[in-house]
Amino acid sequence: MSSKILLYQGFLVLVMVTATSPSIVARVAPSPSFTKVPWNPASSANIGRHVLPKHIVYARTGSKEGEHLVEGRGSASPTHVTRTIDINEGGWTTDSPANIARDELPAHQVDGLKWSRTIKHVVEGRGSLLGRDEESKEKLALAHQAYPTIQKAGDYIKSKLGWTGSKPETDKNLWEEGVYNNRLYAQFHFNEYPYALPPKVTHWVYWIRVSPVNEESFRPLAHESVPHSDYLDPVRVAALTRYVNHYDLYGWSGIPERIIRTHRPSSFAHPTDHVVWKDPVSGEEVTRLQGARAIQWAGRHVCKAIQSQFPPDDYQVLFNRAPERWKSVVEPDHVQYVNE
């Protein structure tokens, strides 16, 4: 059966963490110890301690998540070397290209003119960077002129959705019956300003009146088994929630896992696996793999809501929610998605 492809950008829940911008740091292995050994001119490892910084590299380790600094003899495995790093007076630091402001987005724009390329960008955390065609850009520019503030843009959307009255109960969760499929809380609509996508791909928005991702999203439901003990630790869950809201929240449905496995999820935020996100509140660190798994777990309810309209046997779907700092509409929340 041929699949239909959907791009759900409506779940473009543009949520921005207003706390101090978290820092991206490199996880550093302990300094190696050295003992005197007989001189062997043939060995490239016989260098003075002061020369070590010029030879430090990152290397992959299959048994651990991410990449770690190699101590000493790691230079003997050149196929694992990913990049050389510099040591600055401020310590080992690597900035993430995903820590950019809204006005910087155009410089990082990517295209999704091929479905395979769209999959890659969304899965790697670049869904908010997909470009629009000229017609959509012109229409969007006119909309920004008519509704120049985030507040006015949000009021316009609410009027179109019929959500101008008093807000319903706010203690509801997206995954509850009578919420994700109730037009009082959530609605699916075509995106009026679609991305530039392949001809058969349609661009939708999932407008949501309740928080799609919060700390409760990590709590397993009665029929679920928690995939990691981290999701039972309140401090860790709070940090992971801030992480998810700081970057693109993304997901997919109906796309074969063999295709997903050819990409590196969340690699826009973590260009290499040694880059970790440090929570500005608790100091907890999140690696690329930990972050990607948290996004998939916390976003599972959004995925199921979309699947209620677009079954995975019939549609291929990608969805993405941008962080608040990149949003033109903050309230109501929304997720972008595309499908064919």
Question: What does the alpha-carbon distance between residue 118 and residue 235 come to, in Å, rounded to a whole number?
Answer: 34
Tell me which amino acid residue 322 is. Answer: A
Strands 4-11 and 315-321: parallel
Domain boundaries, the chain: 4-24+97-339, 36-84
Residues 179-222 have pLDDT tens digits of 898 999 999 999 888 899 998 899 999 988 888 889 999 999 99
- According to DSSP, the residues that pair with 25 across neighbouring strands are 93, 276
Tell me, what's the pLDDT at 79? 31
Question: What does the alpha-carbon distance between residue 187 and residue 207 come to, in Å, rounded to a whole number?
Answer: 5
DSSP letter string, 164-184: -S----SS--TTSTTTTT-TT
- Kindly report the number of other CB atoms within 10 A of residue 139's CB atom: 14
Helices and strands in the chain: count of H runs, count of E runs? 7, 12
Written as tens digits, the pLDDT of the chain (340 aa) is 445 555 554 453 222 222 333 443 333 333 333 333 344 445 445 555 444 444 444 333 333 333 333 334 444 433 322 222 332 232 333 468 888 888 888 888 899 999 999 999 999 999 999 998 889 889 878 878 877 677 787 888 888 888 887 777 667 888 888 889 899 999 999 988 889 999 889 999 998 888 888 999 999 999 999 999 999 999 999 999 999 999 999 999 999 999 999 999 999 999 988 889 999 999 999 999 999 999 999 999 999 999 999 999 999 999 999 888 876 666 666 676 667 6
Question: What does the alpha-carbon distance between residue 158 and residue 41 come to, in Å, rounded to a whole number?
Answer: 74
Residues 316-336 have pLDDT tens digits of 999 999 888 876 666 666 676
Nearest CA among 179, 227, 203, 183 for reference residue 320: 203
- For the entire predicted model, the pTM comes to 0.72
Q: Calculate the alpha carbon distances from 40 to 43, 45, 47, 72 in Å.
A: 6, 9, 11, 16
Tell me, what's the pLDDT at 171? 78
| Alpha helices, H only, the chain | 115-123, 134-146, 150-161, 234-246, 257-260, 288-298, 300-307
Question: What does the alpha-carbon distance between residue 322 and residue 306 come to, in Å, rounded to a whole number?
Answer: 17
Nearest CA among 135, 222, 142 for reference residue 175: 222
Nearest CA among 303, 243, 291 for reference residue 267: 291
